[in-house]
Structure 1
Amino acid sequence: MDQRTKRRRAGGQTITDVARHAGVSPMTVSRVINGEKNVRESTRERVSEAIRELGYAPNAAARNLASASAISVGLLYSNPSAAYLSEFLLGSLDQCSRSGFQLVVQKCDTEEAELRAVDRLVAAGVDGVILPPPLCDASAIVEGLRLAGLPTVVVATGEPPVSASAVRIDDFHAAEAMTRHLIERGHRRIGFIRGHPNQTASAQRYEGYVAALAAEGIAIDPELVAQGFFTYHSGRDAADRLLSLPVAPTAIFASNDDMAAATIAVAHRLGMDVPRDLTVCGFDDTALATTVWPELTTIRQPVSEMSRNAVLLLAEAIRRKGSGQAAKPVDEIMPYHLILRQSDAPPARLGSKPAKSKAAKAGEA
């Protein structure tokens, strides 16, 4: 291969190619390129090696970012959890500020407004769009953005569309790990509050719960499953129903922290002690998880980092489009962690709290 061909191929490499080659996120590659200190030395060496092997030119990438002030990132939201949305917006704003992008935030309240929301974003002149949940699963919006030719990144979906990049966690295995943790604590009668049916991640969390019970030979009791909608009020109603059963559950696993916080409130209203009389666990690890008492054992979904990575993936897709390159949707799966706090314990009949379970240790790895 002559030197001219080598240079041409090297010029086609992107920050996403480097990230994939090094086994890290595009955000980590950006941090290495920008000389930021919060990167492990082993990771920095791996990224640097990938840059060398691919012939990627980080200085050119830095110039692209420096000249990217004209890039306008659209963020369309409709989220019932204020805690989740707040964390998501902070991450997006921070990364857009770091990269010199303009962030245009639009709200979409109803299904009827979905296509009008797409029209507003197109009229606003955005270069690409980020869709947090639940709009990450709104097929009409995703298709409308595709037809409008706008690069799109969906965040926290359970089933990424073929036309857009995605940043998410493994919701199935995260919920399975939490349920396994509760089983190892000694719980057999475990209630579950489902998330909104309009989100694919909700179904995966429920399936993870079912899989963990089945693996231990515990029969699925439909009475122990209540429908929620990711709101505090829906969690309160679901907890009311579960705790009014003739034989109440000894633990309740809610599909997000808002519904778990509502469950704790219902338990307190009924004169129950959490976790002595009832274990309560959530999902997401938003700020709410450490605001309630007792603080929630929960699954940490790195919401802020996911939104930051979404900005970087979108910027890369916009750059590709601008240079006439074919779109390459990326499915980035980020790690989750099982966070142990004060809201879980074994059933009262089993006595004092044992050492950390295998599931908890695996989640912290």
Structure 2
Amino acid sequence: MKKITIKDVARNAGVSIAAVSYVLNGKESKVSQDTIVRIHESIRHLNYIPSITARGLVKNTSELIGVIIPQTEDHKQLVFENPFYSEMISAIEGVVREYGYHIILAGVDKGKTYLDISTSRNLDGAIIMGIYSEQLYDECKQANIPIVLIDSYVNDNSFANVGIDDELGGYLATKHLIENGHRNIGLVTGMIRKEGVVEKRFLGYKRALQENGLFYNPDYVFENSVSYVHGRSSGALIADKFPEITAVFAVADMVAFGVIRGIKESGKDVPHDISVIGFDDISMAHMFLPPLTTVKQQIFLKGETAARMLIEQIQEKNGVSVKSARSLIPLEIVDRETVRKLMN
């Protein structure tokens, strides 16, 4: 079947190609009302779908926003395995669609450049999750497009930033276990990298122990990847240490699910033998059996906030003066059924 073009629309409506272009690109004041009606009737009759690329050339915009997730671990499928990312992306997409934009989702392997994505796709803006300070984030400036960072501890005023206090989150999780009578608390975590989200949660864990006069034991720290697989293998190791370890803080809900599976496969029970607290409060947390006690960060709000900050920057670049700032999303403990209070 022949592809319908703007020429076909113009011919069918009996108007010029320029007139059709004006209507498609929001410049209807340049043509008569009768011409506008005829063009819209022709579009409906021919089932014409305007090319986003062609419209972008006219408007000097691609109407595309990149959502870029650096792969900071060797577990390359992590993004698609963890519902945290799908919930975040859903929130971002819902906001940008309100403003007529579409998203391109891209994972960037370690050592690769962000510039390749932004320039090859002619992005109008980008949201980048979890960039580390030691990475060459200066290349983001070279892209010369509005950028918002999520979950980043890059201290650079060039970028708007949306995040949470991850150190506080780790502290709250560990303190919750301590308040329930636990003293020997394990930590299951991804790679602890300087100035990263995981390191901040690790530091919160250590602070809670110290404030309560508890000894930090590096043998209780199980470090690998933020994944269900690592959680499961760690859960089995922790079960072997029972009753030495009576509680676990997992730095993400998906890790916590794996920990619980590993503990149960080793013949121990959650929470009767070993208590577990997660981090994120993804949608699966309340559906899991037993329902997961976790640190709630408002994932959807975080995604929406980042998207609106990026739209504001794009509008400012296009002549609409709007000021963006760093945004910190609040945290809270959601107490469900995976933490048991020990009797003194």
TM-score with structure 2 setting the length = 0.74
RMSD over aligned Cα atoms: 2.5
- Whole-Å separation in 1 of the counterparts to 2:142 and 2:320: 17
For structure 2, which runs of at least 5 residues remain unmatched after alignment? 1-58, 72-77
Matches within 5 A, 1:176-215: 176-198=171-193, 200-215=196-211
Residue 249 of structure 1 is matched in structure 2 by 245
Matches within 5 A, 1:215-294: 215-245=211-241, 247-294=243-290
Question: Kindly, what percent of the aligned residue pairs are identical?
Answer: 25
Q: Which of 276-285 and 81-90 deviates more?
A: 81-90
Q: What is the deviation of 1:124? A: 1.0
Residue 73 of structure 1 is matched in structure 2 by 65
Pick aligned residue for 1:129 from 126, 130, 149: 126
Secondary structure, aligned partner of 1:244: helix
Secondary structure, aligned partner of 1:259: helix
- Whole-Å separation in 2 of the counterparts to 1:324 and 1:140: 32
Secondary structure, aligned partner of 1:219: coil
CA contact (8 A) 2:96 2:311 kept: no
Residue 342 of structure 1 is matched in structure 2 by 337
Q: What is the deviation of 1:227? A: 0.4
- Whole-Å separation in 2 of the counterparts to 1:103 and 1:324: 22
Secondary structure, aligned partner of 1:162: coil
Q: Choose between structure 1 and 2: higher helix proportion.
A: 1
Q: Does 1:106 align with 2:106?
A: yes
Q: Deviations over 1:185-207 (max 9, x none)?
A: 10001111123334711111011
Whichever residue aligns with residue 64 of structure 2, its letter is S
- Whole-Å separation in 2 of the counterparts to 1:302 and 1:85: 12
Secondary structure, aligned partner of 2:248: strand
Whichever residue aligns with residue 267 of structure 2, its letter is G
- Whole-Å separation in 2 of the counterparts to 1:107 and 1:156: 16
Q: What is the deviation of 1:123? A: 1.8
Q: Deviations over 1:324-343 (max 9, x none)?
A: 97x96621101111101111
Q: Does 1:166 align with 2:161?
A: yes
CA contact (8 A) 1:228 1:235 kept: no
Residue 90 of structure 1 is matched in structure 2 by 90
Whichever residue aligns with residue 208 of structure 1, its letter is G
Cα–Cα, structure 1 residues 159 and 288, in superposed 2: closer, same or farther, change >3 Å? farther
- Whole-Å separation in 2 of the counterparts to 1:290 and 1:161: 37
CA contact (8 A) 2:63 2:123 kept: yes
Residue 116 of structure 2 is matched in structure 1 by 119
Q: Does 1:306 align with 2:302?
A: yes
- Whole-Å separation in 2 of the counterparts to 1:211 and 1:262: 25
For structure 1, which runs of at least 5 residues remain unmatched after alignment? 1-66, 352-365
Aligned length: 277
Residue 20 of structure 2 is matched in structure 1 by none
- Whole-Å separation in 2 of the counterparts to 1:315 and 1:71: 11
Q: What is the deviation of 1:247? A: 4.9
CA contact (8 A) 1:168 1:306 kept: yes
Cα–Cα, structure 1 residues 334 and 160, in superposed 2: closer, same or farther, change >3 Å? farther
Secondary structure, aligned partner of 2:270: coil
Residue 22 of structure 2 is matched in structure 1 by none
Residue 37 of structure 2 is matched in structure 1 by none
Q: What is the deviation of 1:85? A: 1.2
- Whole-Å separation in 2 of the counterparts to 1:282 and 1:224: 16
- Whole-Å separation in 1 of the counterparts to 2:256 and 2:310: 33
Whichever residue aligns with residue 82 of structure 2, its letter is A
Q: Deviations over 1:149-199 (max 9, x none)?
A: 122111122444433111001111121111111111100011111233347
TM-score with structure 1 setting the length = 0.70
Q: What is the deviation of 1:119? A: 1.3
Q: Deviations over 1:130-151 (max 9, x none)?
A: 0123xx3275463222112122
Q: Deviations over 1:16-66 (max 9, x none)?
A: xxxxxxxxxxxxxxxxxxxxxxxxxxxxxxxxxxxxxxxxxxxxxxxxxxx
- Whole-Å separation in 1 of the counterparts to 2:241 and 2:267: 16
